[in-house]
Amino acid sequence: MTTGILLIGYKRQDGIARRLFEISTNLDSISNPGNIKIFIAIDGSDPITELKMSEKIEELLHKYSLKAEIYFQKTNLGLSKHITWAISWVLEQVDNVIVIEDDVEISYFLIQSFSKLLNLRSEEHTSELQSRQYLVCRLLLEK
């Protein structure tokens, strides 16, 4: 079973940089990170910003010894359409996906915990982790 980590972004280089660092440290805590693929989907922006983002992402992937498939939308789809498109894109290539937004911090053990949840999944197609007041994250478990 292959799991995708989908990093959703817009024009926030700082957010992408922090999330890639967090993803890198998360993967260091996993016994078999070979079953995990990283995908980065950036919603549309102008060509100059796309070039700057692309260069920054490539620099960070190299810095953290990560490999990722990267897709830049040519037009700005907006949050809901972009996320829907990106999840579909990832699920065409892997069995499960963990979605991370560029402006939401993740804990050191998030990917490890979600990987364990995937192994324990029930017949449900989605699972949500919630605090008393907030939806913390939603995990899409299977196609």
Using H for helix, E for strand and C for coil, what is the string for 48-61?
A: HHHHHHHHHHHHHH
Rounded average pLDDT per 10-residue block, the chain, 143 residues? 89 90 87 82 86 92 94 86 92 90 87 75 49 46 44
CA 35, chain centre distance (Å): 15
What's the pLDDT score for residue 41? 95
Give the integer Cα–Cα distance in Å for 122 and 127.
9
pLDDT at 120: 62
| 1, 96 Cβ separation under 8 angstroms | yes
Of the CA atoms within 13 Å of residue 21, those in its CB half-sphere come to 9
